[in-house]
Structure 1
Amino acid sequence: MPAKGKKGEYAELPSTLERSPKKAQDTYEKTLENAEQEYGGDEERAHRVAWAAVKHSFEKVGDHWEAKDHRGPSDPRAAERGPNASGPSYGGVDVEGKTKEQLLDEARRLGMHVSTHLTKPEIAAEIEKANKRADRAARAKKR
């Protein structure tokens, strides 16, 4: 079932989830629905909780989400939790759960030419930029 909007009607899934596996969509929708009930209609908090649930099991690859090999926080901000969590997010790139070599492989798979001299956070930031470009291209294509 799609997520509910401000007036109680069902809204569309975020576009990146529309292009993702059914399990990622279900995770977002069910978590959002439960969080809206739990937090008494605090929509912003409910969406934060739903995205956190997605990021716990999935990682952003290009313009969609893919299942991670291991569940867990994908970045320093996700590990901290809460609305005031600090640290970089990397837009869903699983920097915590992957080695530098795995991040380099992912970058290559996305068609990027990334230097092996970069650190894990630098590689993750470059992958995040590529993911944003792919997402923008997919949205433009949809119109």
Structure 2
Amino acid sequence: MPYRTSEDLPPAVRHHLPPHAMDIYRQAFNHAFASHPDDVRQEEIAHRTAWAAVKRLYVKDGDEWVPK
């Protein structure tokens, strides 16, 4: 289920990531989701890929995600 906007993201993402990180997450998720159409783990792969993309540019500092 691709996400059209950041408001469509799961609450765990929306309530914890800054706007730019949400954009990264959404774009990475949508790309990975489209890249694995026949995989039963399609959504899991997409979420893992999206978090990995965020972690390339952001790091968690206490309760906040901040740019590296």
Give TM-score scaled by structure 2 length.
0.73
- Asked if 1 retains the 8 angstrom alpha-carbon contact of 2:57 and 2:67, the reply is yes
The structure with the largest alpha-carbon Rg is 1
Q: Which has a greater percent of strand?
A: 2
Choose the corresponding residue for 1:23, options 20, 24, 36. Answer: 20
Task: Report the RMSD for the aligned CA atoms in angstroms.
Answer: 2.1
- Asked if 1 retains the 8 angstrom alpha-carbon contact of 2:25 and 2:53, the reply is yes
Query: Which residue identity is paired with 2:43?
Result: E
1:81-92 pair list within 5 angstroms: none
- Asked if 2 retains the 8 angstrom alpha-carbon contact of 1:21 and 1:65, the reply is yes
The structure-2 alpha-carbon separation of the partners of 1:19 and 1:67, relative to structure 1 and needing over 3 Å to count, comes to same
- For 1:105-134, what per-residue CA distance to the aligned partner results, in whole angstroms no more than 9, with x for missing partners? xxxxxxxxxxxxxxxxxxxxxxxxxxxxxx
Q: What is the rounded CA distance, in whole Å, between the counterparts of 1:46 and 1:20 in structure 2? A: 17
Q: What is the rounded CA distance, in whole Å, between the counterparts of 1:13 and 1:34 in structure 2? A: 20
Deviation at 1:39, TM superposition (A): 1.3
Question: Structure 2: any 5+ residue segments left out of the alignment?
Answer: none
Deviation at 1:60, TM superposition (A): 0.5
Determine whether 1:62 maps to 2:62.
Answer: yes
The structure-2 alpha-carbon separation of the partners of 1:64 and 1:47, relative to structure 1 and needing over 3 Å to count, comes to same
Q: Which has a greater percent of helix?
A: 2
Which residue in the other structure is 1:12 paired with? 10
Deviation at 1:36, TM superposition (A): 0.6
Determine what percentage of the aligned residue pairs are the same residue.
34
- For 1:28-87, what per-residue CA distance to the aligned partner results, in whole angstroms no more than 9, with x for missing partners? 11111111111116011111100000000000111121000xxxxxxxxxxxxxxxxxxx
Query: Which residue identity is paired with 2:58?
Result: F
SS at match of 2:32: helix
Query: Which residue identity is paired with 2:66?
Result: E
